[in-house]
Structure 1
Amino acid sequence: MDFIKALTFITEDPRWKEKVVIGAALALFAPLIAPALILLGYALRLTQNMRDGKRPPLPEWDDWSGDLVRGFKLAIVYLIWGLPAALAAIPLFFGAILADSDSFVRTFGVMILVGTTCLTFLYGIFVTLMTPGFVLWFARDEQIQSGLQLSEIFAWTRQHLIEVALFLIAVLIANFVFFMAANVVGTLLCLVGLVITIPLATFVAYLYQFNLLGQIAYKDKTGEMYYPPFAPPAPTTESAGNDPSI
């Protein structure tokens, strides 16, 4: 993966300014849910463009309804994977009640709380590691069931564990840097700037994450890097003949 190119690729698009402004405007209204789903669908199209080798990969804003639908479907996939962690709230609730009791019942309640918390934490790690896999599986045909192929996604994740770990670390660091910079710049602009910088950081974070996913998908598909390392041009016959060392 080319972690730097996953950010600088944005400005290689001839219409990148217009696309970024639209994306940041949607991110500003992301709490309304529909804009957030459109952003998610748009970012998925970026991954698909990367996977298919399209350049420049940044999609046009020409499929709003399609982005809304694919974003909604992908959100459902996220929710289903996170459902077991949500269901853990039930034993946690009863464990908290029992922990307020006396004697043995209290001990039993504490055991439930500790056990459920540990299992939820472990499951959270598991889902985090599986996330790149189920997003790429969903991106194949945009069908919810494709993103739920547990055995296939688990096998892929195990084979690409180093790439998955590097992806997660890169996204974590990038998000920290993007939002730290957004907060600093927005604050320097008398806090009003946060209305611009935070949505901008949100959109860029989407693009960075889904670009990296696209790089992984392209390498899986072709066996090559999407952004090959720079190679200096080979010397011409004329320049080689003028080389005094020859």
Structure 2
Amino acid sequence: MNNSSGINFERAFTFMFQEDEWVMKFVIGVLMAVLAIFIIPGIILQGYVIAIARRVRNGQQPELPEWEDWGKFLSDGFAYMIAALIYALPMILLVICFMVIFLFGVAGADAGGGSEDALAGLSLLMVCCLTLFLMLYALFMIAFLFVGTVNYIRKGSIGAFFQFGYLWKELRANLGRYGIVAIAAFAASMVGSIIPIVGSLWSQYATGHFLGQLARGEVGLGNDFSETALHDLT
């Protein structure tokens, strides 16, 4: 089922059940998801999702890869996790700074006998401002991480996550396409959460397929995706 965006939603939601040996590939994925609490299996699983996206982008069959290239899964997953951590770093640092300022404020008020009402009012104002900023930053962070992942699928270098000018042009050129995929991926995660682990794994595989379709660059930029094509759109 395609639409004007060129995204095949039906294929993304069902491809994992239409291939040979899909049961075993799914079982191994479930095992990785269960063991994700030990971090490394979770990183490997993320790398496997990127492998799905890369195969979809390149038109390789089967789209659901064999669980063989563990080193590549680990390196791709690690690159994604590092990028996500760096993206989230400003939020983490801001929260830490807020906590330090708040604690010093409480200590200063106790020592100086300041008004508790004034401190409570100031704290509430700071919390509201911080929450608003974090929400806005999280929105931009998720958007750029999503586009950055597509860029990484194309280029294979961790630096692809941080070409912010390039990512901004890509997002602007295909805003509708990214938006509809983000909504579909979010909906899949909500549906998948009904069945713990198995459902979540299904939604991850579907998201991988969506990322692969986006990485083809079929709409807006054409199949020959390049810096020149992006420059021409600005």
Q: What is the TM-score with the length of structure 2 in the denominator? A: 0.81
Matches within 5 A, 1:95-110: 95-97=101-103, 98=105, 101=109, 102=115, 107-110=121-124
2:125 maps to 111
Indicate conservation of the 8 Å contact 2:192/2:201, yes or no. Answer: no
> What is the rounded CA distance, in whole Å, between the counterparts of 2:14 and 2:135 in structure 1?
35
Label 1:95 to 1:158 Cα distance change in 2 as closer, same or farther (>3 A). farther
Whether 2:223 is the aligned partner of 1:218: answer no
Indicate conservation of the 8 Å contact 1:175/1:205, yes or no. Answer: yes
Indicate conservation of the 8 Å contact 2:147/2:167, yes or no. Answer: yes
Indicate conservation of the 8 Å contact 1:96/1:110, yes or no. Answer: no
> What is the rounded CA distance, in whole Å, between the counterparts of 1:95 and 1:114 in structure 2?
15
The number of aligned residues is 208
> What is the rounded CA distance, in whole Å, between the counterparts of 2:15 and 2:216 in structure 1?
15
> What is the rounded CA distance, in whole Å, between the counterparts of 1:211 and 1:16 in structure 2?
15
> What is the rounded CA distance, in whole Å, between the counterparts of 1:220 and 1:84 in structure 2?
34
Whether 2:135 is the aligned partner of 1:121: answer yes
Whether 2:54 is the aligned partner of 1:54: answer no
- TM-superposed CA distance for 1:152, in Å, is 0.8
Whether 2:154 is the aligned partner of 1:140: answer yes
Whether 2:178 is the aligned partner of 1:164: answer yes
Indicate conservation of the 8 Å contact 1:12/1:56, yes or no. Answer: no
Indicate conservation of the 8 Å contact 2:153/2:215, yes or no. Answer: no
Label 1:223 to 1:155 Cα distance change in 2 as closer, same or farther (>3 A). closer
Q: Which runs of 5+ in 2 are unaligned?
A: 1-6, 110-114, 224-234
- Where 1:4 maps in the other structure, the secondary structure is helix
Indicate conservation of the 8 Å contact 2:49/2:204, yes or no. Answer: yes
Whether 2:204 is the aligned partner of 1:206: answer yes
2:167 maps to 153
- TM-superposed CA distance for 1:125, in Å, is 0.8
1:174 maps to 188
- Where 1:56 maps in the other structure, the secondary structure is coil
> What is the rounded CA distance, in whole Å, between the counterparts of 2:87 and 2:32 in structure 1?
26
2:45 maps to 39
> What is the rounded CA distance, in whole Å, between the counterparts of 2:95 and 2:81 in structure 1?
21
Indicate conservation of the 8 Å contact 2:181/2:210, yes or no. Answer: yes
CA RMSD in angstroms, aligned pairs only:
2.2
Indicate conservation of the 8 Å contact 2:191/2:199, yes or no. Answer: no
> What is the rounded CA distance, in whole Å, between the counterparts of 1:119 and 1:132 in structure 2?
20
1:73 maps to 79
1:187 maps to none
Q: Percent of pairs identical after alignment?
A: 26
1:20 maps to 26
- Moved segments of 4+, more than 6 Å: none
Corresponding letter in the other structure for 2:132: C
> What is the rounded CA distance, in whole Å, between the counterparts of 2:222 and 2:92 in structure 1?
38
> What is the rounded CA distance, in whole Å, between the counterparts of 1:178 and 1:123 in structure 2?
26
- TM-superposed CA distance for 1:40, in Å, is 0.6
Higher Cα radius of gyration: 1
Greater displacement, 24-33 / 86-95: 86-95
Matches within 5 A, 1:219-238: 219-220=217-218, 223=222
For residues 116-162 of structure 1, the C-alpha deviation after alignment (integer angstroms, 9 at most, x for no partner) is 22111110111122222110112233322221111111111122211
Corresponding letter in the other structure for 2:47: G
Q: What is the TM-score with the length of structure 1 in the denominator? A: 0.77
Greater displacement, 156-165 / 36-45: 156-165
> What is the rounded CA distance, in whole Å, between the counterparts of 1:108 and 1:7 in structure 2?
48
